[in-house]
Amino acid sequence: MPAEQGREHPPRRGQAAGRGAPQEEHEPERLQKVLARLGVGSRREIEEWVVAGRVTVNGEPAELGQKIGPGDRVKVNGRLVSVRFTTRAPRVLIYHKPEGEIVSREDPEGRPTVFERLPLLRKGRWIAVGRLDFNTSGLLLFTNDGTLANRLMHPRYELEREYAVRLLGELTDEQIESLKAGIQLEDGLARFTDLTDQGGEGSNHWYKVTLSEGRNREVRRMFEAVGLTVSRLMRVRYGPVTLSPRLKRGMWMELPEEEVCKLAGVPRPQRQVSARTAEKERQVRLHRTAPRGRG
């Protein structure tokens, strides 16, 4: 029997008798989708937690594919999750990652992590959209919405990643054609959708490359396959989001709500705001945060 049938749920808001006008009703949604949207974890993580029995709905173990509504009580690891069904735009941060930071919440070697510089969230957590190597700098996106993170990273959407690459040496015409046609790596064929010469001096030469996927160390491995070493690598664009020259290393900014909704492919939530608030939301503010716990 499907999880959403045969199990009694508390009456939803707006259905129970009571004082005042009934509240807006919401269609039940899949548990992992709701929790991912709240930033509790990615959909894959939440599915693993459900299988492991770490998620309950109304005091009963959750099931994969189960749907929940506003009246349901959801707990993860015994802690109650504030489940919201109101329409609210996700949040997205643009961070200029410097070299020497790891894209992980914890590192056994004690290296600084990108999460140490991000603002704290009252609920949920920041999810990194893809990764950048320890020695790679540039644009890194974060969101508090697991569904949006999945959309931005899933291969089927083929969002372009653009990098500025400095090589020790210069590519030949044959190497350029090979990199654009496809290089066979140990994890499959890889190719640049675009590769342009940006000039250089001495032994260093700059190129701008674009690909539509984000495998581990893919750019470096492609150049290594044709016999050249990457001496510097910087991501300058992810999909429609470009790294602003105003955003210096170690700084972050929040993407305006209108741009976030375009990125997520959802309509902007309708709400009443004053002209002053609207103007404030349109302003782009740059932030620099000292790593927490490191002074």
Active site residues: 133
Angstrom distances, CA of residue 54 to CA of 41, 47, 77: 13, 10, 5
For residue 2, give the amino acid letter.
P
Q: How far is Cα 240 from Cα 3, in angstroms, rounded to an integer? A: 39
208, two tokens: 């701008």
**Token pair 């090979």 in the structure block, residue:** 178
Q: How many CB atoms lie within 10 A of CB 259?
A: 16
Q: Nearest to residue 210, comparing CAs of 157, 269, 163?
A: 163
**Token pair 């009443």 in the structure block, residue:** 272
Q: Where are the alpha helices (DSSP H) in the chain?
A: 31-37, 43-51, 146-153, 173-181, 218-225, 257-264, 275-282
Q: What are phi and psi of 144, to 5 degrees?
A: -95, 10
Note whether 145 and 36 are within 8 A (CB). yes
